[in-house]
Amino acid sequence: MGLSIASFSAAVTAYDGTNCDAPGDCWQPKPGFPEKIEGTKYDPKHSKEELGKQQKAIQAMERRNAKRAEHFKKTGEWVYDISKLE
Amino acid sequence: MRFLSAIALALMVASPYTMANQKLDKMSKEDSNWVMPGGTYDFNVFGEQTEINVNNVDQLRPAWSFSTGVLSGHEGTPLVIDGMMYIHGPYPNNTFALDLDNPSEIVWQHKPKQDPAARAVACCDVVNRGLAYWPGDGDTPPLVIKTQLDGHLVALNAKTGKEYWKVEVMDISVGQTLTQAPYVAKDLAIVGSSGAELGVRGLVSAFNVKTGAMEWRWYATGPDEDIGLADNFNSENPHYGQEGLGQKTWEKDAWKIGGGTNWGWYAYDPDLEMFYYGSGNPAPWNETMRPGDNKWTMTIWGRDVNTGLAKFGYQKTPHDEWDYAGVNVMVLTEQEIDGEMRKVLTHPDRNGIVYTLDRETGDLLRADKLDETANWVKYVDMETGLPVRDPEYSTRMGHRSRDVCPSAMGFHNQGVMSYDPEQQNFFIGINHLCMDWEPFMLPYRAGQFFVGANVWSYPGPKGNREEGIGSGQVKSYNAKTGEFEWSVMEKFSVWGGTMATAGNLVFYGTLDGFIKARDSRNGELLWKYKLPSGSVGYPLTYTHNGTQYVGINYGVGGWPAVGLVFDLEDPSAGLGAVGAFKELQNHTQMGGGFIAFSLRGQGPFDDLSVGEYKPNN
């Protein structure tokens, strides 16, 4: 099952997924497309703030859940509304 | 998050082997029960019963039915435990408990209050794939575990329907929802994620069923410590890739909105204490906006159930260009492949390949096309594990790709797959759908759709593209040989999956509103019944008071029926599904319920006094 990286050829005309830089890393740009999209017409120009929103939401949910579970452990009663927990 | 995970790890290592795990496994093997999605931990969707068989299946008739009172797609199947049936539905995800001795009385019902805004961030109808069950341990009562579209995971007392705990898993304000059935292994409720069409980074979490506390949580993309890799991750197959790839195969921070949600099915091996599932598509659909292999989206995972840490991960579709969300069903079997007995998992993917892996090591053993018309890939190289792409059917900015097979809807989607252990064949409900696809640039705004492609799906080469029919197949597949033993065409995609029995039967529902039975040995159609509405769930079977029943949810919806459900006409609307299924509305309308069938329709109401009002004197 071993895979020899050295056996891969660097010269390609079209991306067919079989030329790997490293195990598990075989992407190549298609003909006419850039290696990096930053600064090109394909630059997604993602906002850092938007990219961070999911993690913030998840951390907030984890904090609320931890409070609920803690209360449940103490009292045996599950209270969903955290405003009712001290 | 990492802090919690570390505590979880320490706790779980210290905890003794739990009996509840064995109890559920044992219950799942009784004919009177259907205790989890797929029926058993193997997820073989198989009934040992032979009362209903090839010789008498034409005598199947409805025994009783139940309307859920809501419309939209009714995916999954009910649970049956100790003489009680638990029925679940799409948004608002009401749950009903019915006594099988008298299903005319609802024992309890749980009707969640949800923010209706959750509907607006569901990509593909407001479906839900079902319930899970934990059998109780003396201290904690038996629990029915459910998900809600608004992102909650809820445990209900199975006897009373009262909420036992309720945790937040997903937040609709950032595009996250839940549609999958949760999964119980040991004392854990495992739950995935939805929302790759809104740029949601996939995650899988486990909650302690007894305390409601989170035990572990791992992601599909990003740093290795977020993804949860065991020290020996992919050590048996290092060419799959190992460390650092959750970031290295992305440009900059694009992995933070990288998809890889898992909203399909799980399977579990109690001996190895490993569970298996697939992570979904990367975001956005526009491939040009995310150069790289985009690991670990589109990956078959084998994870330790106690810690959640991954022992292996095999990426099926590196750098997805087609939305072949890799979430489909996993069925666990033992097979002699190339002369060696192996414990394997078999997995029919959206991308048109059915994979078989050794479920202990992750070794790739088989990768066969579900239909030879799949054209994005020439073949999967078994040495490297890499799909050899045909650049002609790639997608990219500034280009309308044509006649790409499969469509984004896949040659297989969320439907389950059954397996007959005697015949050693898999019965696969297949979509025969291809597409045109053209991406466009778009920004990411949390809570908004982040797709970036116009898609036109239509029936594949073997169907009738002009009339919009011939978009389904059912096939019998043998993993030992890689051969399809029989294959039949269907008018529409076989979306809900199949259920097989030892009576040499394979049952499935169709989008145009039939439940059908075929001879599982040769595919011959033996019986069908016209349901009130199309089916996107899968049949189950159970024996109650000595009678075998076959049951199925009806209520069309899900991705194939979004045109019908939301009254859409533009063929590229509904992420390309509307055109492919324009003919569906001439065969069915919405519905929602469950029907139980038995030979000659015998059932609880044969005794006419059952369910009657009895005056006091």
Whole-number pLDDT of residue B616: 86
Tell me, yes or no, if B221 comes closer than 8 A to chain A by beta carbon.
no
Q: What is the pTM of this model?
A: 0.95
- Find the residue in B nearest to A33 (Cα): B288
CB contact under 8 A, A27 and B383: no
- Alpha-carbon distance B11 to A74, whole Å? 18
Contact B417, A36 (CB under 8 A): no
**Residues of chain B falling short of pLDDT 70:** 1-20
CB contact under 8 A, A80 and B257: no
Whole-number pLDDT of residue B20: 59
Catalogue the long-range contacts made by B401-404 (C-beta closer than 8 Å, 24 or more residues apart). Answer: B401/B436, B401/B437, B401/B438, B402/B436, B403/B375, B403/B434, B403/B436, B404/B322, B404/B375, B404/B376, B404/B434, B404/B435, B404/B436, B404/B437
- Alpha-carbon distance B423 to B429, whole Å? 18
CA-based nearest residue to B84, from B611, B615, B451, B604: B604
Which residues on chain A are in Cβ contact (under 8 Å) with B444?
Answer: 44, 46-47, 50-51
Query: Buried b / exposed e across B410-442, counting CB within 10 Å, b at 16+?
Result: bbbbbbbbbbbeebebbbbbbbbbbbbbbbeeb
Nearest by CB to A72, from B173, B211, B443: name it. B211
Task: To the nearest 10°, report the CA torsion of B119, B122, B126, B130.
Answer: -130
pLDDT digits over A23-40, tens only?
999 999 999 999 999 999
| Three-state secondary structure call for residue B3 | helix
- Alpha-carbon distance A7 to B441, whole Å? 36
CB contact under 8 A, B214 and A26: no
| Three-state secondary structure call for residue B435 | strand
Question: Annotated active-site positions of B, please?
Answer: 323
Q: Which amino acid is at B156?
A: L
- Alpha-carbon distance B465 to B458, whole Å? 6
Residues 25-84 of A with CB under 8 A from B: 25-27, 29-30, 33, 35-38, 42, 44-48, 50-55, 57-62, 64-66, 68-69, 72-73, 78, 80
Q: Kindly give, in sequence order, each residue whose CB lies less than 8 Å from that of residue A6, ignoring residues fewer than 6 positions away.
A: none
A43, two tokens: 């630059």
Helix or strand (DSSP H, E) at B490: strand B483-490
pLDDT digits over B86-125, tens only?
999 999 999 999 999 999 999 999 999 999 999 999 999 9
Tell me, yes or no, if A6 comes closer than 8 A to chain B by beta carbon.
no
- Alpha-carbon distance B250 to B260, whole Å? 13
Which residues on chain A are in Cβ contact (under 8 Å) with B299?
Answer: none
- Alpha-carbon distance B395 to B455, whole Å? 11
Distances from the Cα of B169 to the Cα of B212, B280, B366, angstroms:
12, 18, 35
Contact B149, B122 (CB under 8 A): yes
CA-based nearest residue to B37, from B190, B261, B233, B226: B190
Please report the DSSP string for B100-142 in residue order.
TT-TTSEEEEE-----GGGGGG-SS-S-----EEE---SSS--
DSSP letter at B416? B
Q: Rounded to a whole number, what is the largest CA-CA distance in chain B? A: 81
pLDDT digits over A45-56, tens only?
999 999 999 999
Whole-number pLDDT of residue A13: 67
- Alpha-carbon distance B463 to B90, whole Å? 31
- Alpha-carbon distance B537 to B125, whole Å? 14
Whole-number pLDDT of residue B21: 72
Tell me, yes or no, if B241 comes closer than 8 A to chain A by beta carbon.
yes
Q: Which amino acid is at A31?
A: P
The mean predicted confidence, pLDDT, of chain B is: 96
Q: What is the arithmetic mean of pLDDT over A10-32?
A: 89
Residue B113: how many other CB atoms lie within 10 Å: 8
CA–CA–CA angle B197, B198, B204 (5° rounding): 85
> Which phi and psi angles does B34 have, rounded to 5°?
-140, 90
Q: Kindly give, in sequence order, each residue whose CB lies less than 8 Å from that of residue B156, ignoring residues fewer than 6 positions away.
A: B95, B110, B143, B144, B145, B146, B162, B163, B164
Evaluate if residue A4 carries a pLDDT over 70: no
Before B92, cis peptide (omega within 30)?
Answer: yes
B40, two tokens: 């058993």
CB contact under 8 A, B165 and A72: yes
Nearest by CB to B394, from A30, A51, A55: name it. A30
- Find the residue in B nearest to A13 (Cα): B391
Contact B539, B554 (CB under 8 A): no
